[in-house]
Chain A
């Protein structure tokens, strides 16, 4: 029996993000959709940042999950439009990030204007707003480093993108 695109999407939606395993590729907005044409499934994914090194792994994992379900006629395609934004993260996803120790991005504040002031980030541990950005860049393209002046811990935060 041929699975529907809905079923396919359901099967792959739970694949964890390789860098932040508490959230899925669906939560993060990387999984854009599933199409079926001429006997082939097309899975559309979008990178968070242009060079996100996890894309290849995600493609492999999608194929593995579907292969285990007996679906082999799969093509994974990359799309750049619409450009990924942290605005796609739901409140639930942000809560998962926070519990994992990564400060979630503040919503809808990703101004494209030059020099737009990035809002202060809440510490994911003690929730204090008394924090400082210590490095614009972090361990992955999508995160930056902050320090909490209240509990004195450093933490990673999602860049508003």
Chain B
């Protein structure tokens, strides 16, 4: 394995989270509960797709195979995607969309807060730009969690359900394999142990304010670091990659 393989892989992990959740949120365009929220979800989607473009472009450079960011976004097979299982989960009801955003945005807020200081100049630059956007996403998701949790019996019940059902996908966010351990020793990858503590405390704080119960740690799903996904990613890719598969190299 070449030294750049680890960095390439790490960039794909970061880029794929942004790409896949960006795509998921774009599915809500014109379907959100009301217009301000439609704007919010699609704006968050746009931020994430922009970040995916920046990181996958860098991945393509590091990969050195003459790929472009579009090749990486549209031409890979499912097993070569490394996004976390959490981000590919369906939008579900609005509570699920918000719970997924809360879990991921809180993770990204602390992750990019650390990455801003990393030794890789490109990743550090993207991180400090991303950080400002992610903070805004986190505030938005936190507000909604509190509003729904501390709302009517129906909204409380749905928000609690969403938190409980998505909880098993959160353990994976903090896994560190050989790729990340090696890059961490080089001062590039973020150490996820302190990130996990900060994340846990932030979620606990928001859930308490929302009068929701923090789930007990139980079985956690895993697999994305090896490209093993839930059934949902294949369906996303079928739609997302359709055009480039049907009309290779189409541009507009």
Is there an interface contact between B36 and A80, defined as CB atoms closer than 8 Å? no
Given A50-B133, A161-B132: A141 and B43 interface contact (C-beta under 8 Å): yes
Chain B residues 50-101 with CB under 8 Å of chain A are: 50-51, 53-54
User: Given the complex, which residues of B lie within 8 Å of A82, measured CB to CB?
Assistant: 128
A152 interface residue (CB < 8 Å to B): no
Task: Tell which of B136-144, B174-182, B189-197, B219-227 binds the partner.
Answer: B136-144
User: Given the complex, which residues of A lie within 8 Å of B44, measured CB to CB?
Assistant: 137
A115 interface residue (CB < 8 Å to B): yes
Nearest CB on B from A137, distance (A): 4
Whole-angstrom CA separation of A84 from B125 in the bound complex: 11
Is there an interface contact between A136 and B50, defined as CB atoms closer than 8 Å? no
Of all chain B residues, which has the CB nearest A145?
A: B36
Query: Other than the known A50-B133, A83-B128, what 17 A-B pairs have Cβ atoms closer than 8 Å?
Result: A49-B50, A50-B54, A50-B126, A50-B129, A50-B130, A79-B125, A80-B125, A81-B124, A81-B129, A83-B125, A114-B109, A114-B135, A114-B202, A135-B39, A136-B40, A137-B140, A141-B46
Given A135-B40, A137-B39: A50 and B128 interface contact (C-beta under 8 Å): no
Chain A residues 57-95 with CB under 8 Å of chain B are: 79-84
Total A-B pairs in contact (CB under 8 Å)? 72
B131 interface residue (CB < 8 Å to A): yes
A129 interface residue (CB < 8 Å to B): no
Whole-angstrom CA separation of A1 from B105 in the bound complex: 53
Given A80-B54, A135-B40: A51 and B132 interface contact (C-beta under 8 Å): no
Nearest CB on A from B16, distance (A): 16
Which among B36, B126, B202 is the interface contact of A137 at CB below 8 angstroms?
A: B36
Interface residues of A (CB under 8 A from B): 47, 49-53, 79-84, 110, 112, 114-115, 134-139, 141, 145, 159, 161
Nearest CB on B from A38, distance (A): 21
Is there an interface contact between B36 and A135, defined as CB atoms closer than 8 Å? yes
Interface residues of B (CB under 8 A from A): 36, 39-40, 43-44, 46-51, 53-54, 109, 121, 124-126, 128-133, 135-136, 138-140, 202
Choose among A110, A112, A138, A145 the residue with the greatest number of B CB atoms under 10 Å from its CB. Answer: A112
Is there an interface contact between B132 and A83, defined as CB atoms closer than 8 Å? yes
Overall SS of chain A's interface: loop
User: Given the complex, which residues of B lie within 8 Å of A137, measured CB to CB?
Assistant: 36, 39-40, 43-44, 140
Whole-angstrom CA separation of A82 from B131 in the bound complex: 13
Choose among A50, A115, A161 the residue with the greatest number of B CB atoms under 10 Å from its CB. Answer: A50
User: Given the complex, which residues of B lie within 8 Å of A115, measured CB to CB?
Assistant: 139
Query: 27 A-B pairs, CB-CB below 8 angstroms?
Result: A49-B46, A49-B50, A50-B50, A50-B126, A50-B129, A50-B130, A51-B48, A51-B50, A51-B53, A80-B54, A81-B121, A81-B124, A81-B125, A82-B128, A84-B129, A114-B109, A114-B135, A114-B138, A114-B139, A115-B139, A136-B40, A136-B136, A136-B140, A137-B36, A138-B39, A141-B46, A141-B47
